[in-house]
């Protein structure tokens, strides 16, 4: 699919689902990996992940487009356009957009926790991916002193 075809598709979804025209630019971005799309508040343009289109097809990308159009139309109407706003959540539910996009397979791997902070008083554990200074923190449960432990990770 080309950018021109995407532009027409976004305009059609905007008229059919929102009853309002989309008057700005929509284009694919091949560098988007962790997100399905972006809405730019200054220019009102929308970018859609080319990888999501190639991987998941039109059905998933249509939900992403509806999500970005919710940001677009609510922002132009000066209503709550952010993810946490009730207006955004309500409109997204009405049009059938997705709240989150599906993660791309194999593109992101979660590192295991390498460290663990343990409270000396109550034994509460706090897993950490990065090494932290336990003197800067106290237990959130009992305000006791914390100790840092390194976990054994295979292959390191």
d(CA 87, CA 82): 9
Q: DSSP states of 118-154 as a string?
A: EETTT--EEEESS---GGG-B-TTT--BEEEEEPP-T
Q: Residues 6 or more apart from 39 whose CB is under 8 A from it?
A: 45, 46, 68, 71, 72, 75
Same domain, 134 and 69: no
Same domain, 84 and 13: yes
Q: What total number of domains does the chain contain?
A: 2
Same domain, 23 and 78: yes
Tell me which of 4, 11, 60, 68 is the catalytic residue. Answer: 68
Q: For residue 100, is it within any domain?
A: no
Same domain, 28 and 58: yes
pLDDT in tens, 59-92: 999 999 999 999 999 999 999 999 999 999 999 9
Q: For residue 108, is it within any domain?
A: no
pLDDT in tens, 144-154: 999 999 987 65
Quote the domain boundaries for residue 130: 115-150
Q: For residue 104, is it within any domain?
A: no
Using the predicted structure, report yes or no on whether residue 155 has a pLDDT greater than 50.
no
Same domain, 18 and 74: yes
Q: For residue 15, is it within any domain?
A: yes
Handedness of CA 45, 67, 51, 16 (dihedral sign): negative
Q: For residue 155, is it within any domain?
A: no
| C-alpha pair distances (Å), 84 with each of 23, 33, 65, 89 | 25, 23, 18, 7
Express the helix, strand and coil content of the chain in percent, nearest 5 each: 35, 15, 45
pTM above 0.75, yes or no: no
pLDDT in tens, 96-132: 998 988 888 875 556 688 999 999 999 999 999 999 9
Handedness of CA 56, 67, 73, 44 (dihedral sign): negative
Q: For residue 68, is it within any domain?
A: yes
110 is catalytic: no
């Amino acid at each position: 699919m080309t950018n021109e075809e995407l532009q027409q598709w976004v305009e059609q979804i905007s008229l059919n689902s929102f009853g309002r025209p989309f008057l700005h630019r929509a284009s694919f971005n091949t560098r988007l990996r962790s997100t399905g799309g972006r809405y730019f508040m200054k220019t009102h343009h929308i970018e859609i992940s080319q990888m999501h289109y190639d991987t998941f097809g039109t059905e998933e990308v249509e939900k992403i487009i509806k999500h970005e159009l919710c940001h677009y139309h609510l922002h132009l109407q000066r209503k709550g356009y952010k993810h946490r706003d009730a207006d955004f959540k309500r409109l997204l539910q009405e049009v059938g957009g997705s709240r989150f996009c599906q993660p791309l397979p194999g593109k992101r791997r979660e590192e295991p926790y390498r460290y663990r902070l343990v409270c000396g008083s109550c034994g509460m554990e706090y897993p950490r991916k990065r090494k932290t200074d336990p003197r800067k923190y106290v237990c959130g449960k009992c305000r006791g002193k914390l100790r840092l432990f390194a976990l054994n990770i295979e292959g390191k």
